[in-house]
Chains A and B, each alone.
Chain A
Amino acid sequence: MRRLLTALIALAVQFAPPLHAAAPGVTENRIRIATIQDLSGPIAMLGAPIRDGIVMRLDEENERGGVHGRRLAIAVEDSGYDPKKAILATRRLLGSGEVFAFLGNLGTPVVMATMPLIVDAGLPHLFPFSPHQATYAPTHPLKYQLFAPYRDYMDAAVRYMLQEKGYRRVGLLYQDDDYGLEVMRGVEAGLASQGLELVERTGYKRGATDYASQIARLRAAGCDLVVLATVVRETVAAMREARKVGWAVDMLVTASGYSAQTHELGGEAVEGLYGVSVMPHPYADAAEGDLYDWIQRYRTRYDADPNVWSAMGYDVADTFIQGLRAAGRDLDAASFSAALGQLKTTPGFLGGPTYQFSPDDHLGNRRGRMARIVSGRWQLVSDYLD
């Protein structure tokens, strides 16, 4: 019995990686990073294309010989949107001593639970998909973010709609969670800038099926613009309900509803919908040049059309690579963070914005563009809004 015990402990010690590795994840010819995605939970629809976009960009870099002679490898973990699982996955990755940085982790509960562990271990926490401010403020040498909170985008978008289109009575349909709340604050800020307030607000729980009462309330309030803090499914359902009862009100959806699926599934009913675009959707039939090649490569590789989330994943990885290049061959968390803190990216063929960091501002971009569904596809109708 005791022999068995000793053997077990010996086994554990044998396989356990050393507690302190010299330069985690970076060797002579390789850099290992990690990402925690939701591939099986409620937002797997985002997680899968994000992962595909990231992995594709890293592999392309490897085909060109890597960054400063180092190939890039990524460990993908599935949290299923469960912070408990995410913490264990993070501990496992940290324990392996073979991770240089975490890139593009997905989901606010997951990000908020794992970010302290990652940063405490001295690893960069880069460009998570969470609208929470703590991902970049207060400024921390290891925390960087590409995407602004919904609040910033929606504030600007609502001001645009009021000033350019003359709407006066704005109502809000929002998902009853952190996302919906963020949007509400942004919409209220945009309205306040013109001395206005929301004339009606009405919520729904994730997974709701019927929006008749919400639409009826918004209609009774006499809205001339309805802001939708919804995701694709609810966007389609809300607009179909409004059109069904013959209410031709204009609607504006957040970047979460800016998806090709919105018009693919919504059809006629979502025609004319305004949206906020952070990255343009990569439409295959209108693409030319590099973008066309990229879409073809993506299709061949994953047997699916890329969407705006794939593009964002690709952009996240691209920005990471630009940071690595700037950091030079002599790579550790400090040199990387110093380089990233002065980085200004060159936008690629995907049509995303320029991301620019400074030593005391680690949020890469605050501006979105207005888009509108015209003849069954999203078209950009404004430049980047301030």
Chain B
Amino acid sequence: MIRGLAGLALFALAVAGGGWGHALAQVALVATWALAGLGLVLVVGQTGQLSLGHGAMLALGAYVQAGLVAAGLPALLALPVAAAAGAALGLLASLPGRRLGGLAFGMSTLAFALIVEELLVRLAPWTGGAAGQVVPAFTVGPWRLSSPVAQAALSVAVLTLAWLACRRLIGSALGRAWRASRDNEAAAMAIGVDVGAVRQAAFVAGGALGALAGALSAHWLGYLSPEQFGLGLSFELLMMVFVGGVRTPSGALLGGVVMVALPQLIAIARGALPVLGGGAAGLEVLLFGAVLVVIVLARPAGLAGDGR
């Protein structure tokens, strides 16, 4: 309830600071980023694996979606294909986990993401290469979803569906196996959990969610280039879920709010208060870092965590 009110207050502030279009565009981006965050909640929060390459899932989703839509497939039908491609990529990325654990596995996902980024550059005939490609607007039948309202509505709808699916997964036997393998690998194996397979399953689900987010964001950003999916994106997503709270789906949403809305709030605040150093670039980055530090210190388990 309090969180809901806080969200509403934030939205009101966004409307006041920049108008409806601005506020709704933020909603669309928050929902899309939260969608990507959900994938990390499953992989990192529920299963306890380190993924430094989640950006690769978004990249594949975005490029598959753009390619299919360019080839004439309706955008709504392309979405599940993009998600399936992401799931397959997740499976591929999880393979080294059969042999590696912890940080070493995290490093392998990082290498994996870099290789995907490089492939996007090299496979220029299909991806547009380093020059990038333009993505058409998301169309459903005769409607072109180019207004912020429509984009926000679709993002929230997809997020809601994904959210419900996640809750189901987390509550299922698979979810219990995830947490068991996270909390005590040996005990999990002793009770007959195939830890390797269970971890891979999380990666498959996480990859699908990441690709969905990538597919949507491709339309919202309108232009794809491999450099957008560099390591920076993977780190940003990881930071987002940790700030929000990595163990629960609501952490992904809160993290999305912080990552997207906070820089906007800072920008608006400094427009209103010239005291904050009107022209100095970099202030936003500095304040953003400071807020992160404060959140991590005050709530190590993330905003959605229990405050321990």
Interface residues of A (CB under 8 A from B): 1, 4-5, 8-9, 11-12, 14-17, 19, 39-40, 44, 47-48, 77-78, 80, 83-85, 87-89, 91-97, 108-109, 112-113, 116, 120, 134, 176-178, 180-182, 206
Contacts and interface: CB of A to CB of B under 8 A. Distances in A.
Given A95-B20, A177-B227, A8 B8 contact: yes
A88 B22 contact: yes
Nearest 3 interchain pairs by C-beta: A95-B19, A92-B18, A39-B281
Contact of A112 (B25, B137, B223, B267): B223
Interface string B6-49: 00110111011111111001100100000000000000000000
Nearest to B281: A39
Contacts of B220: 87
B104 to A, nearest CB: 25
Contact of B129 (A97, A181, A206): A181
B266 to A, nearest CB: 11
Contacts of B17: 15, 92
B132 A112 contact: yes
Contact of B25 (A9, A87, A97, A109): A87
Given A89-B267, A94-B21, A95-B21, A178 B16 contact: no
Nearest to B33: A84
Contact of A181 (B22, B131, B227, B263): B131
Given A120-B146, A180-B130, 13 more contacts: A11-B12, A12-B11, A12-B12, A16-B16, A80-B285, A83-B221, A84-B221, A85-B263, A88-B25, A91-B21, A96-B18, A176-B121, A181-B130
B101 interface: no
A19 B20 contact: yes
Contacts of A177: 130, 225, 227
A88 B28 CA distance: 10
B113 to A, nearest CB: 15
Interface of B: 5, 8-9, 11-13, 15-22, 25-26, 29, 121, 129-132, 134, 137, 146, 148, 217, 220-223, 225, 227-228, 260, 263-264, 267-268, 281-282, 284-285
A66 to B, nearest CB: 22
B225 A109 contact: yes
Contacts of A83: 221, 223, 228
Given A88-B26, A91-B18, A40 B223 contact: no
B222 A113 contact: yes
B286 to A, nearest CB: 9
Contacts of A89: 267
B283 to A, nearest CB: 8
Nearest to A120: B146
Nearest to B11: A12
Contacts of A94: 19, 21-22
Contacts of A87: 25, 29, 220-221
B260 A84 contact: yes
Contacts of A11: 12, 16
Given A108-B132, A178-B132, A78 B284 contact: yes
Contacts of A1: 5
A47 B132 CA distance: 22
Contact of A92 (B11, B19, B228): B19
B267 A40 contact: no
24 contacts: A8-B12, A9-B12, A12-B11, A14-B16, A15-B16, A16-B15, A16-B19, A40-B282, A47-B281, A78-B284, A83-B221, A84-B29, A88-B25, A88-B29, A91-B21, A95-B20, A108-B132, A108-B225, A112-B222, A112-B223, A113-B221, A181-B129, A181-B130, A182-B131
B16 A88 contact: no
A11 B228 CA distance: 37
Nearest to B12: A12
Contacts of A93: 18
B212 to A, nearest CB: 17
Contacts of B227: 109, 177, 206
